[in-house]
């Protein structure tokens, strides 16, 4: 079942001709990450680009360092997380995705509409 689904998706991808590309740059700390967005037309390209629903993040919200990395991890063998992690103090801010579309990623914010940076908590790792 799983294989058939994958194959079908692959077929669909091959049929589609992506004529347009858009380059998006997101600055995370000192690094600039370049994303190439593809689509058949302007609508598709812009729709695709909106899946990266976050702004540049220049500094750690906890210690102010610009030594930030993009990090992806699998928690409890099933939850996929992408986060921005501070190399200096190990604080992180996690990307959420919308319920309507799990391909849309945004950075989690707190009640004050600030990025929801979380300080490193060793207790979490120990259990």
Supply the minimum distance, in Å, between the C-beta of residue 7 and Zn ion. Answer: 44
Which residue of 18, 49, 53, 65 would you call a contact of Zn ion, by CB under 5 A?
65
Count residues near Zn ion (CB under 5 A): 8
Cβ 91 vs Cβ 84: under 8 Å: no
Instruction: Pick between residue 62 and residue 97 the one whose CB is nearest to Zn ion.
Output: 62
CA distance 33 to 48: 16
Does 118 contact Zn ion by CB under 5 A? no
Task: State the greatest distance between any 2 C-alpha atoms of the chain, in Å, as a whole number.
Answer: 49
Kindly indicate which of the ranges 12-20, 62-70, 103-111, 119-127 contains the residues binding Zn ion, using the contact rule CB under 5 A.
Answer: 62-70
Which residue reads 């990090």 in tokens?
A: 71
Which residue reads 């990450």 in tokens?
A: 33
């Amino acid at each position: 079942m799983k294989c058939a689904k994958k194959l079908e998706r692959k077929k669909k991808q091959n049929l589609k001709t992506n004529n347009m590309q858009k380059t998006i740059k997101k600055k995370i700390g000192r690094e600039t990450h370049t994303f190439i967005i593809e689509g058949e037309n302007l609508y598709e390209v812009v729709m695709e680009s909106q899946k990266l629903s976050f702004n540049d993040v220049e500094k750690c919200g906890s210690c102010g360092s610009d030594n930030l990395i993009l990090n992806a991890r699998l928690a409890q063998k099933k939850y996929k997380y992408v986060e921005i992690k501070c190399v200096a103090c190990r604080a992180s801010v996690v990307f959420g995705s919308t319920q309507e579309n799990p391909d849309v990623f945004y950075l989690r914010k707190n009640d004050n509409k600030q990025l929801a940076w979380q300080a490193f908590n060793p207790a979490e790792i120990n259990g």
